[in-house]
Structure 1
Amino acid sequence: MMKKLLFLFTFSIVFHLTCFGQKQEKAGPVYIDSAKAVLSGSLSKSKLVPPSTEFKIYNPRNRGINQVVPGKGLPKTEDPALQNKMGEIKARTPIITFDAAISQSTPTDPTGVAGPDHYVNAWNSAFSIWDKSGNQVVPPASLASIGGEFEGEILGDPIVVYDEAANRYIISQFSDTPESFLIAVSQGPDPVNDGWYTYRFTTNAVLPDYPKMSVWGDGYYITTNKNSRTADESPVVYVVERDKMLQGETAQIVSFPLPGIETNGFYSPAGFQTIGPDLPPPGNSPIIFLQDDSWAGVNEDHLKIWLINVDWNNPGSSVISESQELSAADGVSPFIATFDGGSFSNLAQPFDAPDLDALQATMMYMTQYRRFAGYNSVVMNFVVDVDPTAAEHAGIRWYELRQQSDGGLWSVYQEGTYAPDKRDRFSGSIGIDARGNIGLAYTVLDDSPADPVAPSLRYTGRFVNDQLGLMTLEEQSIVEGESPDPNSRYGDYAHLSIDPSDGVTFWHNGEVFRGNQRVNKVGVFRIAADEPNDIGVTSLLTPQDATLTSSEVISVRIRNFGTNAQSDFEVSYSINGGPEVTETFEGSIAASSFAEFTFEQTADLSEIGEIYTITVSTNLENDSNPENDTIEEQVKNLPPRDVGVTSIDAPSTGQSLGGTEEVTVTLENFGGEPQQGFPVTYQIGNNAPVREVFNQSLPVGEEAVFTFNQTASLEPFGRYRITARTRLEDDFDPSNDSETKSVANLNCIPEGSDCSFGDGISYFELGDILNERIPCGDGYIDFIGESTDLDRSQGDFTLRVQSYFAEDDAEQFSMWIDLDDNGVFDDEERLITSEVINRKNTWLSFDFSLPADAPLGQHLLRIRAGDTRYDGDLNDPCSVMQYGTTHDYSVNVTDSTIDIEDFILNEAELAVVTVGSGQYRVIMETSFDEPLRITVHNVLGQKMLENQLFNEGEGYVYELDMSYAARGVYLVRVGTRKVGKVVRFIVK
């Protein structure tokens, strides 16, 4: 069976890695060959072969899934390099955008570069040429149109690079007749008229999948995804003889393994692509790849660098050597670079389209190298999951490495993970301009029903002098996609290049969609200053949200976006659109730098709770870009005293919880003054609250974790509702004081099932519960915080499920509801038994019913799915299945036919519990949630209290303070105005 074969295949990989795990430090070439040039003339119209317009899937995954070791790898929580807030500097709209290609090739694999006068782009499996104003010079044509060795060749995976030192374009693709690289080198800087030298370099009978080309001082370097299981001893990196190819002479090719590499399937290392007119000295050409510690054989996340030294006079003496491993001690923060166990359907699209490939385990194209006075820099990026504890969220991990001298060691100058909001960002391409500014372009995706984003292209960036590790530019759109990708296969790469004419203009080419058409969109943008006089405000430094006064200091950050130093210009601010306060900045700000400015005149922001709009602007004479002159920020005058609970962190649902479970909460100061010594409580169900005191100082806007000294008893199996709250005296906003969490003590939690092949429930919908893109995990996930009402009088209920796996009707699911609330899912509580999931990635609907006498109130629901051909019993709620998942939810059983008045009179129980010190708790346990009224009378019939009462989830609870009441007998009543329950209690 397929799964058994896959299991044996995975075992064989592990066995191979175990047997051959000893790393080599150096290796010689494993393949040497040469190729003659075949000349081809200019691109005349008569030579152009129309590109194919049919739908075609190119290179359907010559790449195995990257298998991970479940539970292995860091970080376990949020990415430590995460930038979760967008930059504050306004980015400029693109200079131009244009459609470079419209195709049904799946994927298109967009690539393109600017030269002195042209932009050459290519895709699967065609190309076109544009002038730099976005006018098409050569219409779309098959790559076969280049002629020479390209004649008749349309296999794909093209790459276009520009060798700035030689003023030449290079176009490559691969071939399988025989397995080869096809490389065309323009004979001059004009790709239309200068003609081409074409080469066919064979690759020793292995298809060179995912080839990526880079320019170094002694050759054109090509990295590939091939020989994954033996990449440490088989040809992976190829070098072709640049100097000979530029002359159209016979050129040699040398290939190397990557000694010491760990791979688990698809992988993509990268060479350093030289940007700028100055080539590095020959030799010591770096190859770099990420190594994720969630993979087998990798103990710590790191970047691994190899150096290649080619001797073209004696190729057999060439060598590749492991050079460096940059890890945590060197400034490489832990990262999770694997999605969905290594599979290729990862990121949810809107409009029910297939999940997209995140392009994991890939050093994204290009890895750009540039030489500066006193150091060399290289920038790179790859996709990461920014928080493994939540649903997968793609962000972009980027780096700038620096080298102080040629041939020296590389060090991490800065790193960051760009994920400024909840949207997915992936397929990045990064570059560094001649002034040291960094541009990063990428794809944005969001399946949120409220704000969906189909695959769209955007960019950000940073100036050379900005705070390290941050993309300081506000995200700017290149193009917003009109439609989702109809296929899970997204463009395998995007391509950002830098215009050699000025060294500062970025050209980015990526893939978006219009219906079923794949569109390669080019966006041209610039970060560097291009005008002499350009000043603007970028951020408000003070005040920030706090308890504000009538004399608040206004201070701002001002950036010089221009090329001239600036001084003696006006700066103004206004409050809520009122009169402007104008003062003069008397210092000097150098080009591409920033300064801080504080106004002498303060502002009256003293009204508690008021949100003030502060507008700040510069007024520079002859300013070339008024768009960045002004910012508008809102600042809130916070009440002095306002704290609350933001989360209950422990306990969590578990198996056989005990009588001494720690209770841990996160507190936050929402107010404008630090707070200390305030009460904090927790309560299990309707039991007496546990009251303790937070004695540390909690600063404004910060959080603190608080663990109660008194533990909680959760020993009996079942579901518990935990409420935690702060009780700060004179708290301004009680609505943020408390949080409630449901946990369960279960007799079994069947962890350990394998769902990496897609088994189990990936989508579950029942009433108000809608759980999409359910991650695999270790086979069990607690979702009991998600709940829906089930009206037992309605008859049948419909649920919808989806699985990523369906084969031979073996994928089945069952469901229980723990109606007796004992934490055990009994056979008689199984409401769905072995229903077949016969279609993968498809919503399937199923009906079930509740017993007519199902107990009202909250209950646990368990759903299990798996491949019934293997170990584990699907209908045993505690059995660990070999392949499958188990998930727990909550349901609230109601009955709309029951009259609330009858229920209150006949079934509900009302109790008054003494808490101590004149405090009482009035409790009426019921699943009804309509508002009721509570009244308290003394024996003389005088009404002491009347208030509204709400069901908090387990019943109606009212904290009754009788500490000021006289001793005696009192009556408490809970109900509607017509009927209710009454009990007597005594105040002593």
Structure 2
Amino acid sequence: MSKFIFHFIKVPYMYQKNTLLLLLVLLSFFSGISQELERAKPILIGSSRSIHTEAVSGKVLRPPGGEFKIYNPKRRSANRVVPGKGFPKAMDAAWQKKKGETPSKAPLFSFDAATSGSTPTDPTGAVGPNHYVNAWNFGFAIYDKTGERLLPPADLRTIGGTFEDQDLGDPIVLYDSFADRFLITQFSDSPNGLLVAISKGPDPVNDGWYTYRFDTGSFPDYPKFFVWSDGYYVTTNQDQDDPEITEVVYVLERDKMLLGEEARHIGLPLPGVNINSFYSPAGFNAIGDEPPPKGNAPIIYFQDDAWMGVNQDHLKMWTVNVDWDNPANSTIEESQELGPSEGVTPFHSTFDGGSFRNLSQPGDAPDVDALQGAVMYPTCYRRFPDHNSVVFNFVVDVDPSVLEHAGIRWYELRQDTDGGPWSVYQEGTYAPDGSDRWCGSIGMDKNGNISLAYTVLNDNEEDPVYPSLRYTGRYANDPLNMMTLNEESIVESDFPDPSNRYGDYSHMSVDPVDEETFWFIGEYFGSAARLNKVGVFKIAPEFNNDVGVVDIVSPISSTLGNQEEITVKIRNFGKLPQSNIPVEFSIDGGAPVREIFEGTIPSTGMAEYTFSATANLGELGRTYTITAQTNLPGDENPENDSFSEEITNLRAKDIGITVIQSPDTGENLGVEEVTVTIENFGGEPQSNFPVSYQLDNGPPVTETVTGTVSLNEEFAYTFSQPVDLSEPRKYNLKVETLLAGDVDRSNDAKEKIVANLNCIPTGSDCSFGDGITDFYLQDIVNENIYCTDGYYDFIGLSTKLDRSKRTFVVGVATHFASSNNSRFSLWIDFNDNAYFEPDELLINSQVIPTSRRVYAYEFTIPADAPLGEHLMRVRGGDTNPEYDGELNDPCSVMEFGTTQDYTVQIVNSIGDSALKDGDLNVSTTDGKNFDVNFTTSYQSSVWITVHDMLGQKLVENKLEKGFKGYEYSLNMSYVARGVYLVRVGTMDEGRVKRIIVR
């Protein structure tokens, strides 16, 4: 079976691996040609006569089909992700890591919509003046504005006309506020086309429908509809191999459709576009009271520099101008590229090389589709007196250097004049905690307030989150680039998604009556089915008089005194400006201190206020609860008046190493810089303090950090003296701070294993799921291994192998297995020369029979295997002889596979008693620096620890045996005079000596 068939069943294009590279070369060639295409004419011109249908209220309703229906994965062509290409390599610079401080409003109400066995349900819905119309895969229903159902669930074929014989799904519901009409759409395949039903009036139950079928030639996958003045615009995911020269965007003749007359349509390409595989550009969906001028209809899509042909991350825009008098004169042309110099922060939008299995669920449930490659539905375009705005969003990986973490990149673009250029007004990546957030839908109300709703998922075993629906938002005048409202829940799922398919989208619409109420629909999970939930909520003020404290700005946790100023942030949630606001604070529930904020805060605005009275927070080490609140007379919503925060009076001195940035494992290493991240955990800034590193058991290198590390600040420091890693082997590097008087030694040090390896075979393609995706050995549990450049440095993951037991079981899984060609091998570098030699091969080309299942295999280590730590290499992939690369050559770059390095520690439980007979000596010449030496016949790693007489651990470090036994240079110059205990050994056994520091 080909890779393509494995991942994406029932897809018309099938690519074998041996044609993949040729295809990529050809695509790159044609991509280079297409960059010269800046403007294109219609490729398709057609028309459709409407079929009038009566009101659905007078029909015999067909119930939605009850069968379990799996919709084909979104069509995909060859993968255009280049392994290892693209920025950022690490954290997204636009990442919002904390939730907003302003309380959100709970939903006004919510209600369950569709219950379906379809996979996925494709939830969509739009609100009008008096109705909410909901659709899903092959069904629809109509509700009043309280959530009461007016039309029970019915098959889309109930509409009649062109819908009569079609049951394919992927529906979209739109409300055209400028025409006061509803649209219900889906695609068709007999022949390929777009089906559109447009209501004859504002009442979708009683007014009847005009129905159309617009032929599209090829299949219009994933169609998304947008309202503009001169047409209904449609974007699709089709013809992935040549979107620049085949139709992707369609325009339907809106004016004729509103009258039920014969309407024309045109199909246009996207000149100059680059894509990965699945893709979904977007039009601008106009809402509000005033429609946009006709013409210059925008199309937008993001371009990821991880894709072939893209040099930097950017937003690409086109404008469409339709000439309905002579459709052949219509044009689409590239209009703008907004990149880093125009305010677009680099993003990483690719998950698992473009596959449809990305985000981990709790338990054994399958990974779900992150919906990458799509500008999520819909965009929201509004006109304001001095500008035009559009908001939209798509999913990104907020830190590609670690396991995938999905966040939502959102934008507001602005245009100063009609037809003028667009600019980035604000952007952000919303991922405020460890959960994944994706499948977003965004909207803007008439005030410019923005709401963002989405799905949340977390596979944390202690606090699991199944796919659940939540929202956040921001007020128009809030600080830019932030979702300032706290997160609110619409519904929490009780069960996981039983499939990798999710969504495929959600849908936000804005109530046309007040232009402030948001109606959001998305997918969640109950015990027996996929469910759709509608959440209705507002951000705009509901009350005239409503203020509250939303944050305690100062003090922060630090070294505090007995006269600390209290500064708070006050938010006006109401419609009217407010001044002379009573405000108070209290400490640990004590007597309140009351004062008056005399300034004026406009509607939805914020202001800071510092009390003239101070607070006594001088008890060192104590945590205080500060509560502040407003007491506005006539406040109509006292629930948001108060805010509390815990503040700790920190001991002044507490710094430590949080990350060893460099050196890293590599090939042909030499003299390398040592760079670390130092963090100040204490209550005062620190400078001129010592920091030290030690390589293996060599002498420590100590230097002085002259820069200042402020409170809660991280500081990068590079040692002036580098390390020599030129000998091919594994090294243990320890770095620690030595601040005199540091109150918490547990966070001072970090260790890192770095290897100078004979070879690192990068460049293998794992995007189809080849290679080892899950690996298990004793304490090593490494699951859902993401695809990068084919090589993984997991040397920091280690486990013990007891030589007296000899035989061990390893578990592996792959996401692609093909007719006994998917195999893996394993080596251990027993002689520690950083070469994986033939006599160190312990597992030889074992077959992994099927994908996504863990298989267990045994291997045996030699009876005389050297004790201590050694590197272990695991390689897996497709060994089809027509592909380049040799599995059992540990340095060969496999065409399709992965190489992973780990650490194992060979121990001998029978010989552990040798520790009891060891000789521990500790000597000093000045009472501050001590030389520790432990001689024994024991061979494995041991640990040295130092405790004070109260039991507080001050030092902990791993030791490897050298020519003179286990040696360590112990610096105790930073501690108080007194007696301390030095212990060397394992967890179970060891020797202890008492030392006196003078």
Instruction: Normalising by structure 2, report the TM-score.
Output: 0.92
Deviations 1:31-67 (A, max 9, x none): 1111111111111364311111111112433232542
| 1:544-693 alignment runs, 5 A limit | 544-658=556-670, 660-693=671-704
Q: 2:215 aligns with which of 202, 226, 230?
A: 202
> Does 2:462 match 1:456?
no
Decide whether aligned partners of structure 1 residues 927 and 144 sit closer, same or farther in structure 2, where only a CA change above 3 A counts.
farther
> Does 2:258 match 1:252?
no
Q: 2:503 aligns with which of 470, 481, 491?
A: 491
> Does 2:472 match 1:466?
no
Letter in 1 for 2:42: P
CA positional deviation for 1:506: 0.7
Distance 1:261 1:7 in 2: 26
Letter in 2 for 1:482: D
The residue that corresponds to 1:943 in the other structure is none
Q: 2:408 aligns with which of 393, 396, 399?
A: 396
CA positional deviation for 1:9: 4.2
Q: Secondary structure of 1:440's partner?
A: strand
The residue that corresponds to 1:765 in the other structure is 776
Q: Secondary structure of 2:633's partner?
A: coil
Q: Give the stretch that moved more between structures: 811-820 or 909-918.
A: 909-918
Distance 1:362 1:219 in 2: 22
Q: Secondary structure of 1:230's partner?
A: coil
Structure 1: gaps of 5 or more residues:
936-945, 965-971
Q: 2:147 aligns with which of 109, 134, 137?
A: 134
| 1:898-937 alignment runs, 5 A limit | 898-900=911-913, 902-905=914-917, 919-924=929-934
Letter in 2 for 1:758: G
The residue that corresponds to 1:62 in the other structure is 75
Letter in 2 for 1:2: S
CA positional deviation for 1:947: 11
Structure 2: gaps of 5 or more residues:
4-14, 975-981
> Does 2:298 match 1:286?
yes
Deviations 1:102-130 (A, max 9, x none): 11111111100111111101011110111
CA positional deviation for 1:426: 0.7
Decide whether aligned partners of structure 1 residues 10 and 242 sit closer, same or farther in structure 2, where only a CA change above 3 A counts.
farther
Q: Secondary structure of 1:585's partner?
A: strand
Q: Given that residues 486 and 516 in structure 1 are in contact (C-alpha distance below 8 angstroms), is that contact kept between their aligned partners in structure 2? A: no
Distance 2:534 2:799 in 1: 47
Distance 2:547 2:82 in 1: 52
| 1:124-163 alignment runs, 5 A limit | 124-163=137-176
Q: Given that residues 579 and 600 in structure 2 are in contact (C-alpha distance below 8 angstroms), is that contact kept between their aligned partners in structure 1? A: yes
CA positional deviation for 1:656: 2.9
Q: Given that residues 699 and 969 in structure 2 are in contact (C-alpha distance below 8 angstroms), is that contact kept between their aligned partners in structure 1? A: no
Q: 1:526 aligns with which of 520, 525, 538?
A: 538
> Does 2:55 match 1:49?
no
Distance 1:758 1:896 in 2: 39
Decide whether aligned partners of structure 1 residues 915 and 809 sit closer, same or farther in structure 2, where only a CA change above 3 A counts.
farther
The residue that corresponds to 1:39 in the other structure is 52
Distance 1:289 1:947 in 2: 55
Q: Given that residues 231 and 251 in structure 2 are in contact (C-alpha distance below 8 angstroms), is that contact kept between their aligned partners in structure 1? A: yes
Distance 1:362 1:401 in 2: 18
Q: 2:900 aligns with which of 872, 875, 887?
A: 887
Decide whether aligned partners of structure 1 residues 693 and 523 sit closer, same or farther in structure 2, where only a CA change above 3 A counts.
same
Decide whether aligned partners of structure 1 residues 980 and 456 sit closer, same or farther in structure 2, where only a CA change above 3 A counts.
closer
Distance 1:433 1:915 in 2: 75
Distance 1:537 1:722 in 2: 48
Letter in 2 for 1:475: E
Q: 2:711 aligns with which of 700, 703, 720?
A: 700
Decide whether aligned partners of structure 1 residues 602 and 415 sit closer, same or farther in structure 2, where only a CA change above 3 A counts.
same
Decide whether aligned partners of structure 1 residues 370 and 143 sit closer, same or farther in structure 2, where only a CA change above 3 A counts.
same
Letter in 1 for 2:788: G
Letter in 2 for 1:92: K
Q: Secondary structure of 1:210's partner?
A: coil
Letter in 2 for 1:413: Y
Letter in 2 for 1:39: H
Decide whether aligned partners of structure 1 residues 388 and 577 sit closer, same or farther in structure 2, where only a CA change above 3 A counts.
same
Decide whether aligned partners of structure 1 residues 933 and 314 sit closer, same or farther in structure 2, where only a CA change above 3 A counts.
closer
Letter in 2 for 1:747: N
CA positional deviation for 1:686: 1.6
Q: Secondary structure of 1:793's partner?
A: coil
Decide whether aligned partners of structure 1 residues 655 and 636 sit closer, same or farther in structure 2, where only a CA change above 3 A counts.
same
Q: Given that residues 356 and 488 in structure 1 are in contact (C-alpha distance below 8 angstroms), is that contact kept between their aligned partners in structure 2? A: yes
Letter in 2 for 1:18: F
Letter in 2 for 1:710: Q
Decide whether aligned partners of structure 1 residues 314 and 689 sit closer, same or farther in structure 2, where only a CA change above 3 A counts.
same
> Does 2:761 match 1:750?
yes
Q: Give the stretch that moved more between structures: 49-58 or 706-715.
A: 706-715
Q: Secondary structure of 1:207's partner?
A: coil
Deviations 1:842-897 (A, max 9, x none): 12222233333333322222111121223333223222222211111112223333
Distance 1:779 1:294 in 2: 15
Q: Given that residues 927 and 953 in structure 1 are in contact (C-alpha distance below 8 angstroms), is that contact kept between their aligned partners in structure 2? A: no
> Does 2:342 match 1:336?
no
Q: 1:843 aligns with which of 850, 854, 859?
A: 854
Letter in 2 for 1:767: Q
> Does 2:191 match 1:178?
yes
Q: Given that residues 942 and 958 in structure 2 are in contact (C-alpha distance below 8 angstroms), is that contact kept between their aligned partners in structure 1? A: no
The residue that corresponds to 1:535 in the other structure is 547
Distance 2:619 2:18 in 1: 67
The residue that corresponds to 1:969 in the other structure is none
Decide whether aligned partners of structure 1 residues 90 and 128 sit closer, same or farther in structure 2, where only a CA change above 3 A counts.
same
Give aligned pairs, total: 962
The residue that corresponds to 1:408 in the other structure is 420
Decide whether aligned partners of structure 1 residues 323 and 913 sit closer, same or farther in structure 2, where only a CA change above 3 A counts.
farther
Decide whether aligned partners of structure 1 residues 463 and 951 sit closer, same or farther in structure 2, where only a CA change above 3 A counts.
closer
Distance 2:984 2:547 in 1: 67
Deviations 1:316-335 (A, max 9, x none): 22222211111111111111
Q: Secondary structure of 1:706's partner?
A: strand
Decide whether aligned partners of structure 1 residues 185 and 910 sit closer, same or farther in structure 2, where only a CA change above 3 A counts.
same
| 1:358-397 alignment runs, 5 A limit | 358-397=370-409
Instruction: Normalising by structure 1, report the TM-score.
Output: 0.93
The residue that corresponds to 1:506 in the other structure is 518
Decide whether aligned partners of structure 1 residues 145 and 920 sit closer, same or farther in structure 2, where only a CA change above 3 A counts.
same
Q: Given that residues 568 and 587 in structure 1 are in contact (C-alpha distance below 8 angstroms), is that contact kept between their aligned partners in structure 2? A: yes
Decide whether aligned partners of structure 1 residues 219 and 934 sit closer, same or farther in structure 2, where only a CA change above 3 A counts.
closer
Q: Given that residues 915 and 989 in structure 2 are in contact (C-alpha distance below 8 angstroms), is that contact kept between their aligned partners in structure 1? A: no
Q: 2:870 aligns with which of 859, 870, 875?
A: 859
Distance 1:281 1:981 in 2: 84
Distance 2:748 2:828 in 1: 32
Distance 2:527 2:866 in 1: 50
Q: Given that residues 339 and 358 in structure 1 are in contact (C-alpha distance below 8 angstroms), is that contact kept between their aligned partners in structure 2? A: yes
Q: Secondary structure of 1:44's partner?
A: helix
Superposition CA RMSD, Å: 2.7
CA positional deviation for 1:435: 0.7
Decide whether aligned partners of structure 1 residues 909 and 653 sit closer, same or farther in structure 2, where only a CA change above 3 A counts.
farther
CA positional deviation for 1:253: 0.9
Letter in 1 for 2:85: K
Decide whether aligned partners of structure 1 residues 752 and 254 sit closer, same or farther in structure 2, where only a CA change above 3 A counts.
closer
Q: 2:958 aligns with which of 949, 952, 958?
A: 952
Letter in 2 for 1:274: A
CA positional deviation for 1:950: 6.3
Distance 1:120 1:947 in 2: 64
Deviations 1:219-264 (A, max 9, x none): 1111111222222222111111111111111111122111211223
Q: Given that residues 65 and 343 in structure 1 are in contact (C-alpha distance below 8 angstroms), is that contact kept between their aligned partners in structure 2? A: no
The residue that corresponds to 2:978 in the other structure is none
Q: 2:118 aligns with which of 105, 122, 129?
A: 105
